[in-house]
Amino acid sequence: MSLLEFRDVTVDYASNEGPIPAVRGVTLTLERGEVLGIAGESGCGKSTLAATVLRLLPANAKIGGEVMLDDVDVLTMNWGKLRTVRWAEAAIVFQGALHALNPVQSIGDQIAEPIRLHKTAKDVNARVAELLQQVGLPASRAKSYPHQLSGGQRQRVMIAMALACSPDLIVADEPTTALDVMVQAQVLDLLTGLVRDLDMGMVLISHDLGVLGTTCDRIAVMYAGQVVETGAALEIFDQPKHPYTKALAGAFPRVGDPTARYAPAGLPGDPPYPGDIPSGCAFHPRCAIAIEACATTTVELVGGVRCIRVGA
């Protein structure tokens, strides 16, 4: 039994122009003790997919397929059951810690809130102190307010909140995007250490393939609401097969790689608008190796790659 299973998940946002597909049939699994990376650009559907785990989407979103959390479909849960699942079984570390924290409440109170609501610990203050220590902050910091902390410390507070009710699953949405490299390394070390020590599972969302390649066990690369490549993390980072993954990997050059010197690799064009997805392979208008058939053939995920030019 997997900790988390997406089975052919779709998400459509209702709009005046009709339903807009943000996620178009994603199937992925995550085991305990494992870190699954989801890569892709803004608008590719990665945050929407993650939000289905806790059904945190706005009312105009229609979710299809199944999201199995410990073999129970989150999408069919009633509200009461869903509330017990949120925080206690699965928790989210949101991006932008400065905006996600309440500026007029001490961080200790904010970490304590889910503990009080879910009554998961008798001595709330002791639990808060323990959590702060787990994320590498002194327990005395509980009295601090968000503005008194640095960006890295705030992100640690967000992680402590997510851990508050000892969830089995953590979804971290761009947890290090606004942070410096050194602080990023500290936060990623902390997250992967916690997954290992507490035997949790983690879904890590990022647009930086380098971060995912060195942090995750497996990666799924998304484009226009679909998984276009999936496999072992280092393999995808080191030997990407799909032309889109190649472009993503090339965007963050390896220091010392002579081919990247004075030659920043970009990808012309913009990702498609979800309401107007190109026919055939959604990536074909931007693809450097596209052939005529790419515009008309519906491409399936074969051997972890959704591309008719790979392995052909």
Catalog residues that contact other proteins under the rule CB under 8 A: 41-42, 150-153, 180-186, 189, 207-211, 213-215, 234, 237-238, 247-248, 250-257, 260-268, 270-271
Residue closer to other proteins by CB (options 234, 295) is 234
Residue closer to other proteins by CB (options 19, 96) is 96
Using alpha carbons, list the distances in angstroms from residue 70 to 42, 133, 205, 214: 29, 29, 21, 27
Q: Is 108 within 8 Å of 160 (Cβ atoms)?
A: no
- Tell the smallest beta-carbon distance from residue 287 to other proteins (Å): 12
Residue closer to other proteins by CB (options 165, 224) is 224
Residue closer to other proteins by CB (options 16, 42) is 42
- Tell the smallest beta-carbon distance from residue 62 to other proteins (Å): 26
Residue closer to other proteins by CB (options 45, 213) is 213
Strand order through the sheet with 169-173: 90-93, 169-173, 201-206, 35-39, 218-223, 226-232
- Tell the smallest beta-carbon distance from residue 271 to other proteins (Å): 8
Backbone φ/ψ region at 8: left (φ over 0), alpha (ψ -120 to 50), beta: left
Residue closer to other proteins by CB (options 53, 188) is 188
Q: The tokens 């699994």 sit on which residue?
A: 29
- Tell the smallest beta-carbon distance from residue 75 to other proteins (Å): 30
Residue closer to other proteins by CB (options 56, 265) is 265
Three-state SS for 139? helix
Sign for the pseudo-dihedral over CA of 57, 59, 63, 69: positive
- Tell the smallest beta-carbon distance from residue 230 to other proteins (Å): 18
- Tell the smallest beta-carbon distance from residue 84 to other proteins (Å): 37
Residue closer to other proteins by CB (options 117, 183) is 183
Burial 3-38 (b: 16+ CB within 10 A, else e): bbbbeebbbbbeeeeebbbbbbbbebebebebbbbb
- Tell the smallest beta-carbon distance from residue 292 to other proteins (Å): 24
Those residues with Cβ within 8 angstroms of residue 92's Cβ, 6 or more apart along the chain or in another chain = 50, 51, 53, 54, 56, 162, 170, 171, 172, 173
Strand partners, 25: none
How far is residue 72's CA from residue 265's CA, in Å, rounded to a whole number? 43
- Tell the smallest beta-carbon distance from residue 136 to other proteins (Å): 9
Q: Is 32 within 8 Å of 200 (Cβ atoms)?
A: yes
How far is residue 274's CA from residue 254's CA, in Å, rounded to a whole number? 32
Residue 137 burial by Cβ neighbours in a 10 Å radius (0-12, 13-18, 19+): buried
